[in-house]
Amino acid sequence: MKEKSKIIKILFSSAFILLAGALLVSVVLSSRNRGETKIVYRDRAVVETQVDAEEFYNILFLGTDDEAGLCDVIMLVNLDVERGRATVAQIPRDTYAAYTDASYKKLNGAYASLGGAARTAEFLSGAFGIDIHHYVCINLRTLGALVDAIGGVDIELPCDMRYSDAEQGLYINLKKGAAHLDGETARQFIRFRSGYANGDLGRIDAQKLFMAALFSKLADEFSPVMAAKLCAAAEGVETDLSISDMMSMGVKALGMKADSIALLTLPGKEATAESSGASYYVLSAEPTAEIMEEYFGRRKEFDSEQIFLNTRYNSFRDIYFSNMEYSVIPIKEVAENLELSVK
């Protein structure tokens, strides 16, 4: 009976992976969803209405490394049932964020510094001015096991990928061209960044390609047998989703079309902290606020305490107060619209 319950959970969670771009799987689940309101947009005005909370979800997805607890994957996922759409917003791991008094303020350190996914979700909820209803955190070793469980994914590698870091236990050796990624090589692909002309943004775009490939695999081949394999592989997931939450989301996700699932990267640009020489990704405030309003139901002022701005540096200020462009790409069009710039 227990095993049957686990398989039911993985069936519905795998359906929900389709909307999230299939990077992460949610299984061992506990509490209920929060809140009874959502945001409805009319001519860009924000109106609060009483509705079923299960019609609108914001979920924080985190993918941590296996050594330092740093996040190589940070995503906000929205499921908007009324509009029949899902949105995946990628947040670069090098994003500047004042979540600590320590000198290291890259967002990928928030999980370890704040004490887990729940605290990270609470921090980002306040900074973005949105409700984050749930969180899911998975380590990349588990992600590799899940990729193996579905038989791997096919992808076009944009360049040779070679990198070695003994301290991180990170060894990458992949060749350019068509490739079938198993769990281990998928982990390498997701973590690689040194060969991209624009560093962390290159890795973000590569993750889009991976999500699209995984989406295609699940959409074409998902079955109860695959669900059982996923169930056996899924370990170490940190989440507050209950079984009923996951079942509800899975049913709703099954009704969504591929062209209604979109990917975007929060707009910004890299800048260097002059005192330390550290490179950060600085968010562009105005368009990021627009994204939070349009796709994630922003209810409060975006970044009211300027958590995403280091006022010591003019280069940070110039980016933060700029109005940078961004692209929203349907997941089925990722491969056609995305060109990775390599060194």
Within a domain: residue 338? no
CATH number at residue 82: 3.40.630.190
Residue 28 Cα to chain centre, angstroms: 19
Per the structure block, which two tokens stand in for 201?
Answer: 């943004």
Q: Which domain holds residue 112?
A: 2-333
The model's pLDDT over 9-22, given as tens digits with 9 standing for 90+, comes to 444 344 344 334 33
Asked if residue 195 belongs to a domain, the reply is yes
Please indicate, yes or no, if residue 115 is contained in any of the structural domains: yes
Please, what is the Cα angle at 73 between 148 and 172, to 5 degrees?
Answer: 60
Note the pLDDT of residue 222.
Answer: 76
98 falls within a domain:
yes
**Residue among 134, 129, 110 at smallest CA distance from 59:** 134
Output phi, psi for 322, to 5 deg. -85, 175
Give the model confidence (pLDDT) of 185-222 as tens digits. Answer: 998 888 887 777 677 788 888 888 888 888 778 778 87
Rounded to 10 degrees, the C-alpha dihedral 104/109/112/115 comes to 90
Domain count of the fold of the chain: 1
Name the one residue in this structure whose structure tokens are 């640009």.
269
Q: Per the domain annotation, does 286 fall within a domain?
A: yes
Find where tokens 């889009």 sit: 208
Whose CA is closest to 316, among 292, 288, 280, 287? 280
State both tokens at 139: 């380590």
187 vs 202: CA distance, rounded Å: 16
pLDDT of residue 294: 96
Q: Is residue 117 part of a domain?
A: yes
Indicate whether 177 belongs to any domain: yes
Asked whether 190 and 139 are in contact (CB, 8 A), the reply is: no
- Which residues of the chain fall below pLDDT 70? 1-54, 66, 197, 234-236, 243, 247, 250-255, 258, 339-343
